[in-house]
Amino acid sequence: MNAKAQQLQEAYKQVLRPYFQHLQFAVTLTLKQAAKISTPYTYNAGVYTRWVRLDEDTTRSTLRRFTALLRRRCFGHAARHASKQSWAAPLAIYTVEGRNTHKRTHIHAALGNIPERYVTSFPSIVETAWLSCDFGYREFDIQPISGAEGWIGYITKELGYTDNDCVDVVSMTIPPFIQRRA
């Protein structure tokens, strides 16, 4: 094994370790390689339709939309109140794999801070949110996390090898109350 790749993987694990206790679900989401996007016109009530290929910007946009849908479904209007925004958001750690290989581009996620009342229905919440995204493909897997260390090890496996920048730190969401505890 490459020593520098192992050091990079261990450095990311060290950064993410304070959040392990808050993680509840391991999720794998597959992306479409292209999607038909429709944008309504405002001046004549028409619709502009075009095909868009998956790239880094559309991947990040898809993750922002997915996170917003999860936030809305799990926290409702509390996510919009300034006094509640420190806790009314999911903990979401994302990695994107397959951009530099023959595999279909997919996202591994470690999700947490899910309200107790939604834990049993969370797989259906994720499914609905993911399929509501333009680039959300019908292949996905949602499992409860039994060992956060193992899942984070798995999702960072390509760091330093084929996907050097697979951890998407731009799209991660960490609620402020969890950041303060870390």
Q: Read off the DSSP letter of residue 179.
A: H
Residue 47 has pLDDT above 60, yes or no: yes
pTM higher than the cut 0.75: yes
Q: Where are the domains of the chain?
A: 3-181
Please tell me the predicted confidence (pLDDT) of residue 120.
95
For residue 61, the Cα-to-chain-centroid distance in whole angstroms is: 11
Cβ count near 162 (within 10 Å): 14
3-state secondary structure of 52: strand
pLDDT per residue over 123-141, tens digit each?
999 999 999 999 999 999 9
Angle, helices 148-155 vs 3-16, to 10°: value is: 140
The pLDDT tens digits for 55-95 are 999 999 999 999 999 999 999 888 788 888 788 899 999 99
Question: What local confidence, expressed as pLDDT, does residue 68 receive?
Answer: 94
Contact 171, 60 (CB under 8 A): yes
Question: Comparing 119 with 180, which gets the higher pLDDT?
Answer: 119
| 64 token code pair | 């922002």
